[in-house]
Amino acid sequence: MPKLNMVQAINLALDEAMAADENVLVLGEDVGVDGGVFRVTDGLHAKYGEARVIDTPLAESGIIGTSIGMAMAGLRPVGEMQFSGFSYLMIPQLEGHAARMRSRTQGQFTVPLVMRLPYGGGVRALEHHSESREVYYAHTPGVKVVIPSGPRNARALMRAAIDDPDPVVYMEPKRSYRAFKEEVPESNEPVEIGKAEIVQEGTDITVVAWGAMMHTTKKAVAEVESARGASVELIDLLTISPLDGNAIADSVRKTGRLAIVQEAPRSFGAASEIIAVVNDKALMYLEASVQRVTGYDVVTPYFGRELHYMPTVGRARRGIEQALDF
């Protein structure tokens, strides 16, 4: 098994999907000759040509809008929003059409497209390059939102996203792009969109995270385990919407405690939704109030201050400890 970073793993998934199905194509700003500003599509232009790896004019609405047409006619477009901060220009087309074409036509027209959004902070980038806004997309019925946390699940999730019959917003945590490598199996391991992964089983507390926060949270979990011998069940959400509430509720029924680590602003985030689901499905099993470690409700600060605003290992650890000590 080769060791790949996340950029290489997503590139591998795109390459595999394009080799397997000539309907798969890639489009976006600088995705062709340049291989994308993060090099995620590197080499694909040379290999598959400019008809299937398209350097588009600079227009996010244009990228998704034309992808909708392509998808309805049988292609499998994988569009790139160069940074998630520019992706808000795709919202009218996503909310107005991609998300609802299936419902609108009762299944006659469908929009199996993937939009890739590099997102998240911690990479010393300019304004609009650092925020975490998964809930904009998760709040749109008809759209699936997935976020890998490492190279291995990034590859598997991309393959699943391309195969999915519905629009998938695939958010890529930039901070994890080259932060670490993992062994990625030679042949794809199928994963199901809409399912969380239990990364490790435990009995004292359930901890949920996703995206770049998984890396931070794993370190915090290790600290709690070694400092106090707690048995932690760690869940990687992987899909934000539709949320795998049953996996979380099942875990909470076992552990009785829950902490959630979220990079995005605190209010109206995925963490809030997880708490609501636990309230619905497992309230009587809770032995402590659920702890949320999150970003804050401020406009994402420029990089000089951004690290203060992202959950750290220390903050995640204290959140877990608070749930344990309640």
Q: Which residues bind other proteins (CB under 8 A)?
A: 29-30, 32-35, 37, 55-62, 85-86, 89, 124-129, 266-267, 296-299, 301-306, 308-309, 312, 314-315, 318
Report residue 276 CA to chain centroid gap.
20
- Cβ neighbour number for residue 104 with a 10 Å cutoff: 12
- Cβ neighbour number for residue 185 with a 10 Å cutoff: 11
Find the radius of gyration of the CA atoms of the chain: 19
Using the minimum distance from each CB to other proteins, give the nearer residue, 146 or 293: 293
Using the minimum distance from each CB to other proteins, give the nearer residue, 1 or 299: 299
Cα separation, 157 vs 170, in Å, equals 8
Angle CA 207–212–213, to nearest 5: 25
Minimal distance, residue 313 CB to other proteins, in Å: 9
> What b/e string do you get for 123-141 counting C-beta neighbours within 10 Å, with b at 16 or more?
bebeeebbbbbbbbbbebe
Query: In this structure, what DSSP letter does residue 28 have?
Result: E
- Nearest alpha-carbon partner for 157 in 146, 141, 143: 146
**Which of 45, 97, 129, 308 is the catalytic position?**
129
- Nearest alpha-carbon partner for 11 in 80, 112, 98: 80
Using the minimum distance from each CB to other proteins, give the nearer residue, 39 or 195: 39
Minimal distance, residue 35 CB to other proteins, in Å: 7
Using the minimum distance from each CB to other proteins, give the nearer residue, 104 or 305: 305
Minimal distance, residue 297 CB to other proteins, in Å: 6
Strand partners, 77: 25
Using the minimum distance from each CB to other proteins, give the nearer residue, 231 or 267: 267
Minimal distance, residue 6 CB to other proteins, in Å: 18
Q: Any catalytic annotation for residue 128?
A: no
Report residue 60 CA to chain centroid gap.
19
Phi/psi at 148 (5° precision): -75, 160
3-state secondary structure of 234: strand
Minimal distance, residue 300 CB to other proteins, in Å: 9
Task: Give me the residue label for tokens 């992808």.
Answer: 67
* H or E element that contains 213: helix 213-228
Using the minimum distance from each CB to other proteins, give the nearer residue, 19 or 33: 33
Minimal distance, residue 73 CB to other proteins, in Å: 23
Catalytic residue IDs: 129
